[in-house]
Structure 1
Amino acid sequence: MNLRNRLQYMKRLCTAHFVTNAVLSVLFLVLRTIRPFCTIVFPRAEPECNLEWRESNILMFLICVVVIKNRKFPDVMQFVKILFSLSKVANFLLFFYSDLRLAIVYSVLCLLVVLIFPEPAFKGPENITYFKGEQFFEELENNPRTTWMLECYAAWSPTCQRFASVFADLSLNYSHNHFKFGKLDVGTNDKLAKRLGINTSGTSLELPTLILFQNGKPVIRRPVKNNKGKVMPFQFTMGNMIRDFDMNVIYEETKSKAQKKQEKKAEALGNNENAEEEKKDK
């Protein structure tokens, strides 16, 4: 990860959404083990403010789940989101076992944080072309030799919003004149969604849908459907995208084609200049 991406991640992590979620993730541990909170919230914890055996087991189980969930090394933001989600579930269980009233208060706090401090929309640098209507298909017809990575998204979809930073990073790291990244909003265009075979309902598992186009035709798509038409879940992480779409291979292949094309242009230009010089000499 380069310095620019690190600064971008740090800036996002310092927003109210992530700060409040971090507080909620460690709230039980703080209230249960630090004085005077432990004696006020958990008066039966006197004289020692320590975790009980069951509470320690729940936290150990949380650590194991986080390790298993992140064994494929997702990107930083994905890791943070998974950690926060699992931590809040563990906190709820810990409060529930201690006092049902505390669990209810904690649930209300989590709901208020979601409503008051939603995850901020991605506004970082990117190298993406945004298409409307039939523009993308016209682009394919006019420039079929260009390889396109197309994200079909819906502005209202939380999954699409979370994936925005990952797709932006991919566009910055891999795009060039012969390998481009585009986004097409299918959430408000049923005609386009049907043409691309994407379900855009509120419960759809096909948002976003990533399609790789080569020579004007789709060659790789995620997520995919099995033989029964069921959508197979796909984790939209940086590592999964690079692996499933062979991003490094495609980048090198398209870069090589671009260089050969430039060399041919340079050679043709050189031949024209030589021909003009010969005419002048005559």
Structure 2
Amino acid sequence: MTIFGDIKQLAHPYHLINLSLSLSFLVSRYVPGLCEVIFPAEQCGELTMWESEILFFLLVIVMFRSRKHGSRNMIAYISVFNMYAKVCSGLLWFSADPVYGIIYIILVVIHFLIVGEPVYQGPEKVLYFQGKEFDEELGRDKQCVWFMTFFTSWSPACSNLAPIFAKLSAEYSLDNLKFGKIDVGRYPEAAKHYHINDTTFSLQLPTISLFKGGKEIERRPCLNAQAKFQKFYFTEDNIKAAFDMNNLYMECQKVLETKKGKKEEHIKSE
């Protein structure tokens, strides 16, 4: 996505309100007139040592998570910042006044429930599975190749992958090459079954796995020789290269053409 596309996406009310909530405490402390209404006059224009430490901790966490979550666009970084900044802002508001903290949490919940995050509106061919449904599907048809994304609804990295995965499904989907998703946040048994850490600090969200012949043969991110997860940037080109999607698509297409040819010969012989 270009920088202009990122800016256009950031103009959505969801991102604007999210950013406002994230920066609300700092803005309230440093904007003349507003600060005097909310805080004692002597607190305006400066932060206490504890408040400065909280913000420094936020900066370190955002830098660490931005490097680990596997995306390099503006929306991804801002989404990671907003997620942790809202937690820090909640702590700061509560430390200033518990009433302010409660009001802040109410506003965050209202924003989450009423102003939905913008979602991809283009074509997609993705099937959503619940719990053990995918295991049943693998057992039912072992000839089908599956690209599966294991995700959670609260992860910014998963949200950033969603439109990319949808576009790939529309481009590469065949009768024997399919795309699916499982929300491991809602179905933790699936996370356990496929050995995916679904905690907040997980380096495995999202995870894309390739299943062939009913078995998993490849996944990203994956472990390196030191048994540590390798950083993987979930861009469209990287995913295509990592799973050799063009060749896999041609292989699946040949299988379908062979089956179709045999079926036509059988009909003619009858």
Alignment check: 8 A CA contact 2:153 2:159 kept: no
Task: Report how far residue 140 of structure 1 moved.
Answer: 4.9
Report the equivalent of 2:57: 61
Task: After superposition, give the CA deviation of every residue in 1:46-92 in whole Å (9 maximum; x if it has no partner).
Answer: 6x622233322221221111111222363344433321121112112
Q: How many pairs align?
A: 232
TM-score norm. by structure 1 comes to 0.59
- Once residues 160 and 104 of structure 1 are traced to their aligned partners in structure 2, the CA distance between those partners, rounded to angstroms, is 24
Task: Report how far residue 104 of structure 1 moved.
Answer: 2.3
Report the equivalent of 2:114: 116
Alignment check: 8 A CA contact 2:18 2:82 kept: yes
- Once residues 186 and 108 of structure 1 are traced to their aligned partners in structure 2, the CA distance between those partners, rounded to angstroms, is 26
Q: Which structure 1 residue ranges, 5 or more long, are not aligned?
A: 225-233, 266-282
- The alpha-carbon distance between structure 1 residues 73 and 89, as it changes in their structure 2 partners (threshold 3 A), is closer
- Once residues 112 and 140 of structure 1 are traced to their aligned partners in structure 2, the CA distance between those partners, rounded to angstroms, is 44
Q: What amino acid is the match of 1:169?
A: I
Q: 1:169 aligns with which of 138, 144, 164?
A: 164
Alignment check: 8 A CA contact 2:209 2:218 kept: yes
Verify: 1:37 aligned to 2:30, yes or no: no
Report the equivalent of 2:17: 20
- Once residues 51 and 167 of structure 2 are traced to their aligned partners in structure 1, the CA distance between those partners, rounded to angstroms, is 44
Task: Report how far residue 148 of structure 1 moved.
Answer: 3.0
Task: After superposition, give the CA deviation of every residue in 1:85-144 in whole Å (9 maximum; x if it has no partner).
Answer: 211121122222322322222222222222222334x23335535489899659955xx4
Alignment check: 8 A CA contact 1:147 1:254 kept: no
Q: What amino acid is the match of 1:111?
A: V
Verify: 1:251 aligned to 2:244, yes or no: yes
Task: Report how far residue 217 of structure 1 moved.
Answer: 3.6
Report the equivalent of 1:70: 66
For the residue of structure 1 that corresponds to 2:233, the secondary structure is helix
Q: Which structure 2 residue ranges, 5 or more long, are not aligned?
A: 223-228, 259-270
- The alpha-carbon distance between structure 1 residues 127 and 136, as it changes in their structure 2 partners (threshold 3 A), is farther
Percent identity over paired residues: 22
- Once residues 173 and 137 of structure 2 are traced to their aligned partners in structure 1, the CA distance between those partners, rounded to angstroms, is 16
- The alpha-carbon distance between structure 1 residues 170 and 251, as it changes in their structure 2 partners (threshold 3 A), is farther
What are the residue-to-residue correspondences of 1:93-112 with 2, within 5 Å?
93-112=91-110
For the residue of structure 2 that corresponds to 1:50, the secondary structure is coil
Q: What amino acid is the match of 1:125?
A: G
For the residue of structure 2 that corresponds to 1:71, the secondary structure is helix
- Once residues 74 and 31 of structure 1 are traced to their aligned partners in structure 2, the CA distance between those partners, rounded to angstroms, is 33
How large is the RMSD of aligned CA atoms in angstroms?
4.9
Task: Report how far residue 30 of structure 1 moved.
Answer: 0.9
Q: 1:239 aligns with which of 233, 238, 242?
A: 233
- The alpha-carbon distance between structure 1 residues 78 and 127, as it changes in their structure 2 partners (threshold 3 A), is same
- The alpha-carbon distance between structure 1 residues 249 and 24, as it changes in their structure 2 partners (threshold 3 A), is closer
Alignment check: 8 A CA contact 2:208 2:221 kept: yes
- The alpha-carbon distance between structure 1 residues 114 and 10, as it changes in their structure 2 partners (threshold 3 A), is same
Task: Report how far residue 180 of structure 1 moved.
Answer: 4.5
Report the equivalent of 2:46: 50
Task: After superposition, give the CA deviation of every residue in 1:178-225 in whole Å (9 maximum; x if it has no partner).
Answer: 8945126799xx9xx99xx579xxx9x99987541234543246899x
Q: What amino acid is the match of 2:32?
A: R
Bigger Cα Rg: 1
TM-score norm. by structure 2 comes to 0.61
